[in-house]
Amino acid sequence: MPAKTLQDWKNTAATLAIEGRCFIDGDYRAAMDGRTFDKISPVEGRHLAAIARADAADVELAVAAARRAFDSGSWSRLAPVQRKRTLLRFAELIEAHAEELALLETLDMGKPIANALAADLPGTVNAMRWTAEAIDKVYGEVAATADDQLGLVTREAVGVVGIIVPWNFPLLMASWKFAPALAAGNSVVLKPSERSPLTAIRIAALASEAGIPDGVFNVLGGYGHEAGQALALHNDVDAIAFTGSTRIAKQLMIAAGQSNLKRVWTEAGGKSPNIVCADAPDLLQAAGSAAAAIAYNQGQVCTAGSRLLVQRSIKEEFLEHLRSALAGWAPGHPLDPVTRYGAMVDRQHVEQVRGFIQGAEEEGARLILGGEEGLAGESGCYLAPALFDGVHNGMRIAREEIFGAVLSVIDFDTPEEAVAIANDSPYGLAAALWTSDLSRAHRMARALRAGSVWVNQYSGGDMTAPFGGYKQSGNGRDRSLHAFDKYTELKATWIRL
């Protein structure tokens, strides 16, 4: 079958039926008070759906359903191999609806349809399959005891897990959390961002079709912090798993302390350094990677390589390569299959990123490329990548997470200076470095205070590698077997024989 064209995708979008209600205890339903909010697409500015505006009353209903399901054992007490089979079926259904879900992602938050099809949906399916296959291979322990004692260390599901996810990778980020939570036997209340709730709402029906019992998988399309705060304060929620800003992560931890001291696992902000040493094996490749590291998903990535540290001796040559590479990331219509840089999530976010660009110029940084708003012939939320030189690490654009394609170039002389600049940040989510010296790569990787360090590439790893941050980038880890630590309790059972 030939690939779909821009017009094909527009035609499909025009006839797409979009669900906006909450999914609670196995059924779609309106918010308790009947309120809704409008979801407007950043692609062309058109109205997509009226989304149920869940609040504390809806959270109460969903948590009660999740608790009943958990206590009944309909899911929590199934053998791990049985939960595995159901989750694999869930993954199959998501894969079967990949085009529909990719289109929803693009219309919802503006990412290129090519990226949604090639990365977000396959990544979601892979996360679910890998996690499902892992759960019946996670064992307990037998302690080393005296001959008349038997010590068992076992894992048990936490109970009811509230999951709050961001708008930049709506389905993928959700799957990194609900897959291990469900696999471990928990019940889930998923709260997507109001900026991109559509795929989370849609897959709830697929979860039910796959055989996940009523009440085990619930989705609330709340607005602002209404539903999220109610989840964090609820005394019958046993854990919160969150991806989003550091500011909100702190508020969730406060709410946990004000309620039942629930576990709060956070993957929060980032201001990731991308370090290019003079002996980088391929400057052209490093420049292309640096451009992608800031421009992919319109810069709306928690691990975006927003601080580019370049050794002074190669800086001018490298900047020429970087200019050429960034020129290939001009905004395009997100439904055009050739587009790789789409729309920002909404008008408010465009203005927020533009504010950073203006502020950087006022602080003395030099805008040497990009930052233009708009896309010829189209309405919507478009902002070209911006490249700044003359940045020092004390400037606002080097300190704060912008969540847009704004790249700050900072020069350095020695690897030790580069590490000091990289670590001089409240964040510690990711870092990358480019060098041909193997010993230097190991030394710098060890010295960098970040949860992920990539060498001679930007971004790397798969479901086998844990993902999370140091410092104010959060706690706990997604992906890998370590993810199960967030959704299980350890129990020691000591038996006298």
Residues noted as catalytic:
267, 302
For helices 80-96 and 98-109, angle between their N-to-C axes, nearest 10 degrees: 70
**Residue 31 structure tokens:** 């918010």
> In the chain, how long is the greatest CA-to-CA distance?
80
272: Cβ contacts below 8 Å, ≥ 6 apart: 303, 304, 305, 306, 307, 427, 429, 430, 431, 432, 450
**Residue 292 structure tokens:** 């992608």
- Chain centroid, CA 430 distance in Å: 13
Beta bridge partners of 309: 275, 410
- 204 with 23: CB under 8 angstroms? yes
42/450 Cα distance (integer angstroms):
33
Quick one: which of 271, 272, 281 has its CA closest to 441? 281
- Chain centroid, CA 250 distance in Å: 17
State the first-to-last Cα distance of the chain, in angstroms, to the nearest integer: 67
235/311 Cα distance (integer angstroms):
52
29/216 Cα distance (integer angstroms):
16
Sheet holding 160-164, edge to edge: 27-29, 22-24, 217-219, 187-191, 160-164, 239-243, 263-267
DSSP 484: G
- 428 with 450: CB under 8 angstroms? yes
62/278 Cα distance (integer angstroms):
55
Q: Print burial letters for 7-26: b (CB count within 10 Å at least 16), e (below 16).
A: eebeeebeeeebbbbbbbbb
48/125 Cα distance (integer angstroms):
25
